Amino acid sequence: MNTDPHGAPARTDLPFLRRRTRRAPAAPVPSTLDLSATTIDTVEPPRRPARVAGRARSGGRTVLAPDAPTVTLTRLQSGIGVLRIAANAPDLLRLGCAYALADGSNAAVRHDDATSARAPVVAADRRRPDLLTVDLRQSRKLKRMIVYGVAAGDPPPGHEGVLTVTTWGGTRLELPLEPPPPLGVTVYLSIYNIDGEFVVRAESDPLDGPVRAAWQAYGFDRITAAG
């Protein structure tokens, strides 16, 4: 009987042993559960910022005041007809605006410019320097805008005026006016398009210098054309 393991003949009756692999030993299981070094991710996914601006009164009057400077128009108010922005001021306030479109372009409309575009998003009229109109059929193109004013002369004593924003359905926003600096410009309103709804904010921000100072102060430094 051959007892030498090296001299033993090969086994041909157990072929599966040649393909069998040895399983790696399992990691030891701790006897106690230690959570002292465990970090649980409790960070919530980012949420859309809550809109804190109140709603404009449908078909009614809303006054923009220092303690409530911002209102939100509904999708209907922001998308039907024309948005009229007018200044009722005894010093013949002249309005202008700068705006940015969804395609990234910037433009400006001034009271003394006749728009050259066939279908402008924002338009002015030389006969009504105190009036701007926004074509709400193109509201999806409009990303944001500012409305500013320059004075045509010195305001009379007891100056009182109001800037109005009126929708097609008769909703009316009012902003009491302060006269612009004699040699400057005042940004009265900013308007942002948030998911198809216009958020209107009273700025009442007087600035020294020409109209371009208002453009630059509010990030419209890429304006290349009017209207």
Specify the pLDDT at position 140.
94
Spell out, as residue ranges, where the chain has pLDDT lower than 70: 1-53, 90, 92, 111-118, 154-159, 224-227
Q: State how far the Cα of 152 lies from the Cα of 215, in Å rounded to an integer.
A: 20
Q: What is the 3-state composition of the chain as percent helix, strand, coil, each rounded to the nearest 5? A: 10, 35, 50
Q: Is the pTM of this model over 0.75?
A: no
Q: Quick check: 76 and 196 in contact, CB under 8 A?
A: no
Cβ neighbours of residue 205 under 8 Å, at least 6 residues apart?
Answer: 186, 187, 217
Q: What is the pLDDT of residues 79-125, one digit of tens each?
A: 999 999 999 876 768 899 999 999 999 999 976 665 555 678 999 98
Q: In a 3-state reduction of DSSP, which class is residue 122?
A: strand
- Residue 128 CA from chain centroid, whole number: 29
- 3-class secondary-structure state, position 216: helix
Q: What is the pLDDT of residue 223?
A: 82
3-state secondary structure of 1: coil
Paired with 56 in beta bridges are none
107-110: long-range contacts (C-beta < 8 A, 24 or more apart)?
Answer: 107/223, 107/224, 107/225, 107/226, 107/227, 108/211, 108/215, 108/220, 108/223, 108/225, 108/226, 108/227, 109/226, 109/227, 110/211, 110/226
pLDDT at residue 49, rounded to an integer: 40
